Amino acid sequence: MTTGTVRILASALLMIAPAMLAAPADAQIAAASSAAVDPAASKFIEKLSSDAFAVLRDKSLSKAASRAKFRAMLKDNVALSDIGDRLIRRQRPTLTPAQYSAYQAALPEFVLGTYADRLYDYADASVTTVRSVARGPVLTDVYTRVSRPTSAKPLDAIWQVRKLPGGKMLINNLTVSGVNLAMTQEADFGSYIQRNGFDKLVEFLKTANNKAPA
């Protein structure tokens, strides 16, 4: 796995193997379902993105401190368990309890680092909600435009939000400029496992977690 894969940038969020370029956001939005949505999902993304980027812009914090605070914020707002299970859904039936436990222990920091690295590059950005689309009783896609003062062209990002019993919202996936972080990371994990085995993947995740951010 390359550093670009870990950062996704590559992408991200996301999470690289073959990435397909998506249609422009306008086309994606036009094709999206018009099902009734929970406006709380959009408000959740608006507040989270505002709070997160405020942390990254805080000049009173060192780069390491801002990343640490940002990662803590993500930890409280990302569906780590669900994402982790999706990334190994094809391998899960063949894993021993010990292998699965080792993976569960190693993955969260890797995912947090991936999202943090992906979004850290956009610390100077502003996020505008374009539309939200229901994907079922608990999932909502929130379409956003991410604008940066250094770029004339806005970035399109789709945040998939999962609503838990009791109303808590979590980020379930993120698609940035057509790169679906969960899908691309699943493909990357699968390729790595095929070449090296599952135990080597867990070792890699632990090694990546121990590396200090640049």
The set of long-range contacts for 71-74, using a CB threshold of 8 Å and a minimum separation of 24, is 71/112, 71/113, 71/116, 73/48, 74/112, 74/115, 74/116, 74/171
Reference 110, options 13, 184, 9, 197; nearest CA is: 13
Considering the entire predicted model, what is its pTM? Answer: 0.73
Confidence band of 15 (pLDDT split at 50, 70, 90): very low
Question: Could you give all domains of the chain from N- to C-terminal order, each with its CATH number?
Answer: 23-205 (3.10.450.710)
DSSP, collapsed to helix, strand or coil, labels residue 171 as strand
Rounded Cα distance, 211 and 170, in Å? 26
Confidence of residue 111 (pLDDT cuts 50, 70, 90): confident
Residue 88 per-residue DSSP state: T
- Distance, in Å, from the CA atom of 13 to the CA atom of 114, rounded to the nearest integer, reads 6
Cβ contact 13:184 at 8 Å: no
pLDDT tens-digit map of 173-208 = 989 888 888 898 899 999 999 999 999 999 999 887
Distance, in Å, from the CA atom of 160 to the CA atom of 78, rounded to the nearest integer, reads 10
Does the structure show a pLDDT above 80 at 79? yes
Q: Please state the φ and ψ torsions of residue 62, each to the nearest 5 degrees.
A: -70, 165
Instruction: For residues 37-45, give the mean pLDDT.
Output: 88
Going by their DSSP bridges, the two strands 169-176 and 139-147 should be labelled as unpaired
pLDDT (tens digit per residue) in 125-183? 888 899 999 988 899 999 999 888 877 788 888 999 999 999 999 999 989 888 888 89
